[in-house]
Structure 1
Amino acid sequence: MSTTIQDGKKPAVAPGKEPFLRRGRIAWTLAVVLLLIGLAPLALMAWKQTQFNRVALATAQQEYQLLVAETIAREIDIHLDGLRAELLRVSQTLGGAIRRTGGPDAELRDDLAGVVDERMPYLRYDYFLENDVRSVDAGELTDDLKPIFDAGLEEAAAVLIAAVQTRPDITILSVPILAGSPPRACVVISAPVVSSGRFRGVLSSLVDLEHVWDLVVSRRWPGHTVFGVDRSGRVFSSNSAVRPRPGQDATDSALVQRFLTSSRVGRETLQFIEIVDGEEIEFNGSYEVTRQGWGVFIQAPLSEVYRPIEAMVESTWNTALLVLVLCVAVSWFFARTLSHPINRLAGASSRFAAGDLSTRVSVRTRNEIGELAHSFNVMADEIEEQIRKLKRAARENHELFMGTIRAMAQAIDAKDPYTRGHSMRVNRYSVIVAKELGLTGTQLREIHVSSLMHDVGKIGINDAILQKPGKLTDEEFEIMKTHTVLGANIVAPIRQMKRIIPGLRWHHERMGGQGYPDGLSGDQIPLMARIIAIADTFDAITTHRPYQKAMTFDEALEVLERLKGVALDGKIVDAFFSAYSKGLIKSEGIEKSILAEGETTLPEAAPVT
């Protein structure tokens, strides 16, 4: 059975005029396809198992990192505890010798030299003799380490003196010290020398922390970086020659930041992003805290952490693919036969939704898809007809609205023979200037309506004042000034016209604040009102009034130039001049304000939104 839907023009016989005859059911085709792909449950089970194993392996990798970090941290603690115990033993031995001999003997240097090894390459005993401090040392101390060693020893001595009476077995461990090139980590361990209950001096040892680190981190973890940081976030040892390196500030790492902001008494695993060579790379990392408060970190890119997982997933899916390929090949013809007409219908629906209301589909099937296409054509005909009606009604409403507005404006102008046509001219000037300023769409339509109705409030002014042939008295002028508020109040109850109120109320405001009714100034005056103000001013001085003769356009332009920034917005005045220079505002027939043809054309739309 041929199952096709072709795009085309509307059939000669309109859809819906004849009954739709269905001869088949798409369910039959679906039943055949589902039967042929019966191995889908197997693929689903394989996928489920893969997901389960993925989670399990990911958890195992995280636990592995935590275990490595914990193991290294505990081994560092064990090594350092051993060195502290060794130094304490030597200090106690030294205290016993002093008790027997009364002070350091000549063989002390040899005794200290016997303790020096690769772990503790330097030992020094500082003891108090009367008012002097003397030292006996063994081993070698480089010049760059001497001031650091002395500072650590001085700090340790102060602590030991204060604590030795209550804790004779106390030892002090300094923060990791980096020296040499490349930097090598060391620490200073200090222990008190006590004889006969008296504090005699301080025995200090320089410990090669890098040697301890190498002993602990002797294994290799492919793809993983292992490093240690002190309490300030500075790296003191690392198994990486690239990043992070000893001496580097690692506080920009999200994992190190978590360590620094924690209580530094626990461990944690975290996924985070670092920028390496300008590229964002996602890492999985863990850390454990030593008893000294240092952090031992292990991290690796997720691509390395999950490499075994990806290998497992790839193997699983390769097997599943081999099982499913036969079913895919057999069902391909049926799936294509089913999906092709649906895609064609979906395409027609998308074009219709995008605004191509002439889109139709020609029906050649006799199943559910054909029936759906038939219904689409009927629906499209109805929607297209309704949209035509709506557009026609909207156009008529718009024309009625604008006609009413113009009639109202002309009726107001007709009350005063000197201002006949004033609203239409102000409207045209305002629209031209608004276009010159780059306003479009809703803003332009609102200025169009507002400028037409800007004097609607004069409907509430006594005709005797409006039609007075001479200049108004101060009292009459105060009454005339109320037409701005009256106009705003007239349209205020009309929700659709609220956005044109600024043009009605404030078109007599001035940039310097001398206008009315509210004395606004500068940017306090809405743009709509500033545009209408210029158009209103220009028309007022270029038409005959009882109290003045009409100016020429050139004279009027000079007046506008003088009013820039004082009463009128300078930018809008410049836009007016620009429109005039382009010939959009012509000076022939000032009394009718002849404008360039077509320049006030507005797009059809609701007048105010």
Structure 2
Amino acid sequence: ALFVKPVQGESLSVFRAETINQGEIEKISGEVLSKLEDKAALVGEPEVIKRNGELVLAIASPIVIEGEIAGAAVAIDSLQGLSKAISDEPMSEQELWDSGSPLIFVVDEQGRAIFHPNSEKVTSRQPLNELKIVQEWAATKNQIQSALLPFTTEYKGETRKMIGAYSTAVISDDLKFGVIVMQDEDRALVSVAEMRRQTWLISGILALVALILGSILARQLTSPLLKLVSAAQTISAGDLSHRIETKSITEIGTLGTAFNSMTENLEDHIARLAFAAKENRELFVGTVKALAAAIDGKDHYTRGHSERVSRVSVAIGQRLKMSEDELETLRISALLHDVGKIGIDDAILKKPSTLTDEEYAIMKTHPQEGYKIMKNIPAMAEFLPGMYMHHEMVNGQGYPQGLSDEEIPLQAKIVSVADTFDAMTIDRPYQKGMDLPAAIERIKTFVGTRYDIHVVNALIEACADGQIGVGRVKLNNYKPGRIRTDKKDPAKSAA
């Protein structure tokens, strides 16, 4: 529907009577116009049409003629096309649960569904905040990002283990949507590529909706704006016989060159929304997290290991004053540091007791396996050091290359320390995780043999400030001291 409200005179509206009525148009338009103020354009919140239960989105812009505001226009468009765009043969919510297929839905900032395979959850406007993945998105919606989260949920009295991913679509400064994908954990471990495609697709669909809306407005609103405003003024003056000549309903009231300002502002909003879909790096990060979670998920005790190593690595990198680009590269490298374990037999990965020498030798091949997987992908080149060299030692006794000190990139040195820190502080079948003080003191003993002193000091500082902790363990009053860079041999000091 299209609604035009001149400063003087009566308003005009063009709409399809079988889908919406005049009262709903005026109500929706009134709400968005009341918030327009001096903005160049404004995107309203989704509204439910009572007649057919469809969700619509309203976009308003002032009409400016010769520098003066002559009125305002509101375009109301349906969001119904999302389900068809996601799948040629949409499945019901029950079918998705039964088949273990990814369940995709979109929520607003209150957690209410604006698209869901179960239409009742859309029309009821009840928040879906009982889902852990929705809560996670709500806490991070100010950042356009993808993330992965293992969680459990109830469906028809049955507890399901799930893995979910989300991204944020910025419609305007005041309006954000969360694009949520969740799938049965067991199925997700064998369908990471499909989850990536679905996440990219739904983000692209939101951009496409805005692009289509802009395209429709650009095609249909090409008649001169003065003609429409003049007609409104003529009718308001009492000449009710005046009519606007049109060939069809779709061409009536097109706004022409004076409406170009609204189109330009729409393009700005569209560009910001399209950015989320076109920015392959954000989707790439989501896929990396899904892959890392799939690898970690092969062993119950290492679930979430790659994500934790990534966060600890970034905290260390911040202490070392790395740039934002370097931190992002470090984050991805740490997420993928164990990607080579995808080629290690599950019997070794999940073994509850200490590995034999032969099994340990096989486990030590995972850096080479990861390197083989990623080396032929050009986009992965900058992440290879952390994957390939995180088991090297500064004394040259590490593997797989036996590099020493300056030969080891900083990225690999950081991932190495973060990997050990997480391994020490989580429970394993054959040992209980250390508390924070014990883990720090243990890592300090490896300075100069395994680890770089500057990296370890950065870890200590982050722990001392409470930036890094162990699960629910608090730092309390423990403040480990920095390791002196001029540290002397204790035997020589005694002498």
Query: Shorter-chain TM-score: which interval?
Result: 0.3 to 0.5
> Which gives a bigger RCO, structure 1 or 2 (Cα 8 Å, sep 6+)?
1
With normalisation by structure 2, the TM-score equals 0.42
Structure that is richer in helix per residue = 1
With normalisation by structure 1, the TM-score equals 0.35
